[in-house]
Amino acid sequence: MRDDLGADVGLEAPARRVVSLVPSLTEALVSAEPGAVVGATEWCTHPADLDVTRVRGTKNPDLAAVRALAPDVVVANKEENRELDVRRLRDSGVTVWVTDIETVPDAVASMERLLDGLGWARPEWLAQSRELWCGPLPAVDRTVAVPIWRDPWMVVGARTFTTDLLRRLGWANVYAEHADRYPHVELADLDGAGADVVLLPDEPYVFGDDDGPEAFTRTPTELVSGRLITWYGPSLLEAARLSR
């Protein structure tokens, strides 16, 4: 079996003890085999009743705590986790499955491959997500910009899951052709980028009623759930309703 980066994964399926270092994949894994997930990061907030050992964050996992859980496999992501941590876990004998996701079809295919590799049944929401998200692109009916941080301001750019998801809703990211995946921009440039609306998610930066909208004088803003536009997992079914 090979993960998304082509690494051989010596996993004896079905896996019974899994540590997830990726919040959206934690939600997906729990939906398939709730009792098998034994560890997750502090950022793994779904499902809301998740009761597992916490192993710190995505960028600074407590590797000793991960090893102590004796996982059959640790699930990581190329963008969200550090290659150094993956290498250290593998060097210590821990099996790691790395995902690599830049589009919604990538996400669906990656999760299908992961669940098959773990020896688990695919949950129904995954098939529904393939139906909802993996068809032809719709016509564009509005343009958007998506900040993910302020002071300095950063936005979602090219080759990202979020940009692809929004495009599949009929929303074109005005920074979709930027050379960087998450470019730094000046607020004045962002406000004048020509978007119909600036979408302000509640993660990773927690934009809110009094933190974000007041900065824009030219472009309307909308507060949105970060989970619905940045997570891949069961939330894809909820995200499909965003444009309705």
Instruction: Indicate the fold that domain 18-132 takes in CATH.
Output: Rossmann fold (3.40.50)
Model pLDDT for residues 195-208, shown as the tens digit of each residue: 999 999 999 999 99
Helix (H) and strand (E) counts for the chain? Answer: 9, 11
List the chain domain ranges: 18-132, 142-239
**Angle in degrees, 0-180, between the axes of helices 104-118 and 23-32, rounded to the nearest 10:** 50
Model pLDDT for residues 137-167, shown as the tens digit of each residue: 999 999 999 999 999 999 999 999 999 999 9
Q: Would you tell me which CATH number, out of the four given (3.90.79.10, 3.90.550.10, 3.40.50.1980, 3.40.50.150), belongs to the domain 142-239? A: 3.40.50.1980
Q: Kind of pairing, strands 73-77 and 154-155?
A: unpaired
Average pLDDT, the chain: 96
Nearest Cα to Cα of residue 10 among 90, 65, 100, 78: 90
Read off the pTM. 0.94
Rounded CA-CA distance 30/39 in Å is 11
What Cα–Cα distance (Å) separates residue 35 from each residue in 152, 226, 231?
Answer: 41, 26, 22
